[in-house]
Amino acid sequence: MRIVLVGPPGAGKGTQAAYLAKNLAIPHISTGDLFRANISQGTELGLRAKGYMDAGQLVPDEVTIGMARDRMNQPDAENGFLLDGFPRNVAQAEALDEALQTDGVKLDAVLDLEVPEDEVVKRIAGRRICRNDSSHVFHVTYSRPKQDGVCDVCGGELYQRDDDSEDTVRKRLEVYHTQTEPIIDYYKAQGLVVTISALGKVAEVTGRAMDALERSS
């Protein structure tokens, strides 16, 4: 299957993408990984992207789409892929459709992870990260440390990142509603959108998504 994963920040897209890609035996393609791989390998697209990033500018859509297209044409993506974090706006969605059409393939589904805005704020603003090791993550509601402000693993100080503050989260949501959410209507017009609730345990959401994708295929 060829799938685009969409949803607001805090919906659990990265987590679900990893599980779904494994269950469906297709590669998980995230924009972050694309940029890192192309820059580290020194590809032409990677060098172009790095130039824009070093100058503090946004990477043009054509560069991002070029990276995505190259990745989607690799052998392990022959039977499908799961795009996470791309497209981010309608212009990118249109460009992606054009690229796929040129390559003789098309999307099978757009999986929309739906989460109430208050829950998004609660999920992100409640995160606490260990200063000694950022992989040690806790939550003031869902995964409380044994001692407030202290990492259970190494005893390091737990803190809230600046971009996890409620004000910042709400600004990120505004950007999502303005720029990314319109792609849902764009894909609905093509009959591709499958919407599920992203509330509940990770395994429950994965099962819900797999059932929905199976029904849509």
CA distance 192 to 168: 31
Share of the chain above pLDDT 70, in %: 100
pLDDT at site 82: 96
- Supply 86's token pair: 């791309």
**pLDDT above 80 for 130:** yes
Instruction: Kindly state the average pLDDT of the residues 115-131.
Output: 95
pLDDT at site 217: 75
**pLDDT above 90 for 144:** yes
**pLDDT above 90 for 48:** yes
Judged by DSSP in three states, 87 sits in coil
pLDDT at site 158: 97
Q: For the chain, what is the mean pLDDT?
A: 94
Per-residue pLDDT reduced to its tens digit, 173-200 = 999 999 999 999 999 999 999 999 999 9
pLDDT at site 216: 84
Residues labelled as active-site residues: 13, 88, 127, 161, 172
CA distance 120 to 11: 7
Instruction: Kindly state the average pLDDT of the residues 109-133.
Output: 95
Instruction: Kindly state the average pLDDT of the residues 127-137.
Output: 94
Per-residue pLDDT reduced to its tens digit, 53-76 = 999 888 898 999 999 999 999 999
Burial class (CB in 10 A: 0-12, 13-18, 19+), 76: exposed
Q: How many helices (H) and strands (E) does the chain have?
A: 9, 8
